[in-house]
Amino acid sequence: MNEVVSSGQTALKADNLHVSFGNARRGSLIRAVDGVSFSVRKGEIFGVIGESGSGKSTLGRCLVGLLSPSGGGVLHGDVDPFKFSRRELNRHRRKYQIVSQDPNAAFDPRMTILQSVCEPADIAGEGTKAERRKKAFAMLDRVALSPELANRYPHEISGGQKQRANIARALMLDPTVIVCDEVVAALDVSIQADMLNLFSRLQEQLGLTYVFISHDLRVVSHISDRVAVMYFGKIVEFGPAHAVIDTPLHPYTEALRSAEPEVNPAAAEARQRIILQGEIPSAISPPSGCRFHTRCPRVRDICRTQEPQQRELLPGRHVACHFAEEMLGEKERRGLGPAGRNGADRGAAATQMPT
Amino acid sequence: MQQLAESMTAGQDALLDIQNLTLSLRDQQGWVEVLNNISLSVKPKEILGVVGESGCGKSMTALSILRLLPPRDSRLGGKIMFGGQNLVSCPESQMNRIRGRHISMIFQEPMSALDPVFTVGYQIEETLRRHFKLDRREAAERAVAALDSVGIASPRHVAALYPMNLSGGMRQRVMIAMALVCEPRLLIADEPTTALDVTIQAQIMDLLLGLADRTGTAIMFITHNLGLVAQSCHRMVTMYAGQVVESGPVKDVIAGPRHPYTAGLLQSIPDSNRPRGTLPSIAGRVPSLRHMPKGCRFGPRCTFSAQPCGLSQSIENTGRREVRCNRWEELELERVEA
């Protein structure tokens, strides 16, 4: 009954979304998500990047209906999940799953992997027990976990295997959208690569839509079609993944990009290092004007008083910074057009790498 | 200290020289070998990166150097030479003089390394008073100065706070202040920035390298982040399944890895220029300690595995580089490109 009716191509939409915690009268109101708007197309991988405290996990939890917005709204296709009754919402959000960071905390230590993977279907009451078990094995197979592991307990398998089981469980109810919240952060780099490949494969096979939340720029830019960069509850920049990572037009994105350790020595030398001072300010008393001004290397007077408006600078690229046009100008003068920078790096690397 | 100074002038160029270190640990199932013939050295003022997946023995090597393993359930073999002494056999009383004074350590999770019931200022004073003849007032002054040196804005105020009052980045700054307050000759940093955001990671690395440079402290930097190694270390060591499989100057190893494991780690790093879903990865995982493969320990996961790999692999030294792979000369490993 509450099946998602496709409205054109939009799978998920946030419209001026606000999520707050605490109490305004006692002066402890925290605006974790503060006016965020974007829409995710069907089958798209939408990346969300930000430091801890930027509100990205709160956003993810609200998108799947685990938290209620305090302002604005979320649309799943063209239905508003928060208009449903509790019972209807519970049924509806089976199609909107979330996979979270810590696979160790995601499993009941007293249940076998198979029991845990079956659980969502058991609760939904789909089919007979035998059918559910059969489906669970099929899902374990999809995530490349051998069936021998099904009867093990969580402590008997590795972190990477647990994260696979976690994904298998999220797939049990045939979701259309999966929010992946820091799903590879706790894994070793080799396993992380495996897991990213798995995510892309599942996306292709099942036509899933992902919201991929991570603090790791490399991870997000590798997997996503478009990315949004969050700072302090707001989206400061969003656009096509490659363009945003290669030619950031917001000083915060630029700083994140330069803070990322670079393996390639030529690329490391070519870029400019920006080390941000300080940490994310206190959530209870956000800075005036632009929220990034306390740490911004390009800060000027206007930033302290006026909040920058988000605008479309290049087709599909939205930035909220007073000096975004200036940054764009600088980058164009240096001949690093929206797609040019990669080429430049590759060229530099090719000449300096011994062969 | 006298001994230490002598050994330096005697022309021994390594500050820390580990030779054929083995470590066995005991659990309910009996003894099991965790480290197998580890040899590595750190020169004065050098920054050495140690990389490898979890379970490769990186942290165990660090804990062995400082002898922080339970004495009843651990057995060390080989030599750990530091300042003319072999730390493997040196008495506990001597170790107490070395720990925190000549060799100190920073752990990954500062919250579990700091004591929640004492102020951070007191915890730094404690280290100072343990090793130097200082009264409380002098120690407190030096603790405040140490907090100031790690870029904490109001050190006097922070010194009176408890660890729970601080953010992750601040806690790690406190840990660094504590580790460097006695100006040790060697600092072992075990994943010091793994729990932090990239922007804070950049701040902490900058700070750590700056301070080490000023005090002349050498760093053994344990991490699984090859990017950090590339940008901050002089030499690197790759560990796999309790063995050293490759070592050499960072630039050379990254430009041309010789061991397939190092090459695999380098290629696994996500890259926006590679099409989605085609990230090379290393199949399988680190073998369990009780079921080590015969011959090359990386063999079962190695894409180049062939006949000679079943034989035991010895580490081959070619001047500044070492590699534990019988076939390294014939392999064509992919280099890292931008």
Instruction: Give A115-163 pLDDT, tens digit per residue.
Output: 999 999 999 988 899 999 999 999 999 998 888 889 999 988 888 889 9
Determine, for residues A350 and B273 on separate chains, whether the beta-carbon distance falls below 8 Å: no
Say how far apart CA A51 and CA B21 lie, in whole Å.
40
Say which residue, B273 or A145, is predicted with more confidence: A145
Say how far apart CA B168 and CA B190 lie, in whole Å.
16
Is residue B8 scored above 60 in pLDDT? no
Kindly state the average pLDDT of the residues B313-337.
79
pLDDT tier, B334 (very low <50, low <70, confident <90, very high otherwise): low
Kindly state the average pLDDT of the residues B149-164.
89
Flag whether residue A182 sits within 8 Å of chain B, measured between CB atoms.
Answer: no
Our separate counts of H helices and E strands in chain B read 12, 12
Q: Which pLDDT score, from 0 to 100, does residue B282 have? A: 83
Q: Which pLDDT score, from 0 to 100, does residue A263 have? A: 81
pTM of the model: 0.82
Residues with pLDDT less than 50, chain A: 1-7, 338-355
Q: Which pLDDT score, from 0 to 100, does residue B41 have? A: 93
Flag whether residue A267 sits within 8 Å of chain B, measured between CB atoms.
Answer: yes
Q: How many of the other CB atoms lie within 10 Å of CB of A60?
A: 23
Q: Look at residues B224, B103, B97, B107 and name the one whose alpha carbon lies nearest to residue B163.
A: B107
Sign (positive or negative) of CA dihedral A139, A140, A144, A146: negative
Share of chain B above pLDDT 90, in %: 51
Q: Which pLDDT score, from 0 to 100, does residue B267 have? A: 87
Determine, for residues B285 and A191 on separate chains, whether the beta-carbon distance falls below 8 Å: yes
Kindly state the average pLDDT of the residues B250-279.
85
Flag whether residue A272 sits within 8 Å of chain B, measured between CB atoms.
Answer: no
Dig out the tokens for B223 from the structure: 């991490």
| Residue in A51, A217, A345 nearest the CB of B338 | A345
Say how far apart CA A11 and CA A77 lie, in whole Å.
5
Kindly state the average pLDDT of the residues B164-185.
89
- Closest chain B residue to A354, measured at CA: B255
Query: What are residue A17's DSSP bridge partners?
Result: A36
Residues in chain A closer than 8 A to B53 (CB atoms): 188-191
Say how far apart CA A148 and CA A155 lie, in whole Å.
15
Q: Which pLDDT score, from 0 to 100, does residue A344 have? A: 36
Fold of B2-233: Rossmann fold (3.40.50)
Q: Residue A172 is which amino acid?
A: M
Domain ranges of chain A: 1-242, 247-355
Start and end residues for every CATH 3.40.50.300 domain found in chain B: 2-233
Fold of A1-242: Rossmann fold (3.40.50)
- Closest chain A residue to B53, measured at CA: A188
Residues in chain B closer than 8 A to A188 (CB atoms): 53-54, 224
Determine, for residues B230 and A268 on separate chains, whether the beta-carbon distance falls below 8 Å: yes
Q: Which pLDDT score, from 0 to 100, does residue B335 have? A: 56
Q: Which pLDDT score, from 0 to 100, does residue A159 have? A: 82
Flag whether residue A102 sits within 8 Å of chain B, measured between CB atoms.
Answer: no
Q: Look at residues A161, A175, A177, A168 and name the one whose alpha carbon lies nearest to residue A103.
A: A161
Q: How many of the other CB atoms lie within 10 Å of CB of B70?
A: 8
Determine, for residues A262 and B272 on separate chains, whether the beta-carbon distance falls below 8 Å: no
Kindly state the average pLDDT of the residues B225-236.
92
Q: How far B75 CA sits from the closest chain A CA (Å)?
A: 26
